Amino acid sequence: MKDIRDLKRAFRRHRTAVVAATSGALFVIGWLLDVVWALGAASSAALLVGALVGGYDIAKKAYYTLRTGTVGINTLVTLAAVGAILIGEYWEAAGVVFLFSLGNYLEARTMGKTRTALKELLELTPDTATVRREGTTVEVPARDVEAGETVIVKPGGKIPVDGDIGEGESAVNQAPVTGESAPVRKTPGDEVYAGTVNQEGALEVVATGTGSDTTLQRIIRRVEEAQEAKAPTETTIERFAKYYTPGIILLAALTYLLTRNVVMSLTLLVIGCPGALVIGPPVSIVSAIGNAARTGVLMKGGEHLERAGKIDLVAFDKTGTLTKGETAVAGSEGFGYDAEEVIRLAAIAEKKSEHHLADAILDAAADLTPPEDTATDGGAVVERPAVPDPDDFDVAAGKGVVAHYGGHEIVVGNRALLDEHDVDVPDAVTQYVREREHAGETAVHVVRDGTVIGAIALRDELRESAPGVVQALKDAGVRTAMLTGDNERTAQAVAEEVGIDDYRAALLPEEKQEAIRSFMDEGNVVAMVGDGINDAPSLATADVGIAMGAAGTDTAIETADMALMADDLERIPYAVSLSKATRLNLFENIGIAVLTVGLLLAGVFTGYVQMATGMLGHIGSVLVVILNGMRLLRY
């Protein structure tokens, strides 16, 4: 009984292949019986059975599509096969059905191959995890690990959860998730992802994401959704096919009325199938999305992929995109005050700010004044912060902060903020700020009770890859722009160093969004590159939003049109060029399909194409567009 059930499951799993093989075998047998042994009746019987075996599934699909009001490819083949049988052309009927069944099988196989990237991702997640529970280590299914538990990962083992390293150091191969080619050194406190490979030392990982709530699983869900989402070209072709297929039936009917040639009319039904036209675009889209996923670029769907193929301008956020996002104090100058005192006062004002410049100032203050130890009444030693909290604190978006401490007002910010507070800026301060900004640094003023007491210069190092990425985009015919909240001089210095075509400086978040709109109003198809969170309005406004460093970031993975899993600028030219190659590939497949149908139709009316040869040409065109689309897997 079990053997029968196993046999049934195997048949269902390989039904398309079994049907195509059986239909083909009967077709060959029918040919041998007629040509070799001259057994006409037996040959006709074999060919008829072959047509019925292969045609059953085709007719069944035709029936269900007709019930939905759609006249599809299966309907055309069914009509052609039934018509051939009714006029006694068993050879043509069996041949058409066999070739169509074979085409369905090859199409399913090759479409499966275009989804290999998704299969590879699914195979990355370990089935089990070694967890420390109640003082002992136990092996449990990976999906049963709970957040907060400690997972032990041996050298060479796959990490089964998202988490932070508690103990141990090792190099981790993150290529499956981020696409990074080189292993990344991990130490306690660093984040690791499920599906990545621990290469050297043993690690203890405190789980933060488990089961379906890991970065890898979110990527898999997004790739599945993206590969199912239809591109505009696909949708257009499907709408066209709804009218084209009934049009072919009408053409066949008119041909019969005019010529009384049944075979010609049935042949028109066969060769008029828009198979290559319908299958070509999905293969291209799925192949491109799969290829991108393997290299750490997550495409949201065919619509965004196809739109990205039209990109002619890429706008970059500066901080954390063109730069490393690791701002540090490059220098400070006091004007009537000690430079270190300037940094201390600025740190007090910035203590509660979440801006990256505030972090840099606080780090500099910590280096100047280490924490002090203070003994409490109970004799216990506690740590007192070196930088005290301000008495009150207010943020001026895009300009700086205003705080009060010890009865003094402290203002830290740019010239616009000082102008708002009617603060006079001495020439010496202006000269210092100008020099630092010409060097590509950001300078902020420090004001105490209405008097400028100093300025702090901050620098965010450019990514080494930035100039090469900008040049690669230019070589691809894509213009570049930079949007930044920095002042004009700093923005100009960075733009010139990187090679950016255009830049917009001193922009507030909403002004960055307006800049994107202005680029689009000029007729550009614009991509915006940012971190996916701070630049969310601009990313949403652009034709294509590209979020960098999205690994582990739910927001970026779910909302970006494209997400670069690694913090790697060099993926951007690849993503843009892949999108352009995909768009070209789509047009190639449409051209192949249309040309094939045109040539076959001409062949039918001139008498050079018969029913079986027409179907062979049709199947050939389907395979050609599939193979052409699959080239994108190796782009």
What's the CA gap between 124 and 216, in Å, rounded?
Answer: 9
What's the CA gap between 140 and 132, in Å, rounded?
Answer: 10
Ordered DSSP codes for 194-244: TT-EE-SS-EEEEEEE-TTSSHHHHHHHHHHHHHHSPPHHHHHHHHHHHHH
Q: Which of 34, 57, 162, 317 is catalytic?
A: 317
What's the CA gap between 108 and 71, in Å, rounded?
Answer: 21
Phi, psi torsion values for 120, nearest 5 degrees? -60, -40
What's the CA gap between 410 and 389, in Å, rounded?
Answer: 12
What's the CA gap between 364 and 34, in Å, rounded?
Answer: 93
317: annotated active-site residue: yes
Residue keyed to tokens 């003082």:
135
Could you give the 3-state DSSP secondary structure of residue 402? strand
Report yes or no: 580 and 573 within 8 Å, Cβ to Cβ. Answer: no
Identify the sign of the CA torsion 111, 114, 115, 119.
positive
Residue type, 342: V
Q: Among 80, 534, 4, 581, which Cα is nearest to 288's? A: 581
The answer for residues whose C-beta is within 8 angstroms of residue 112's C-beta and 6 or more apart is: none
What letters, b where the CB count within 10 A reaches 16 and e where it falls short, cover 147-162?
Answer: eebbbbbeeebbbbbb
What's the CA gap between 574 and 299, in Å, rounded?
Answer: 12
Distances in Å between the Cα of 87 and the Cα atoms of 84, 222, 531 are: 5, 51, 67
Report yes or no: 180 and 566 within 8 Å, Cβ to Cβ. Answer: yes
**Catalytic positions, please?**
317
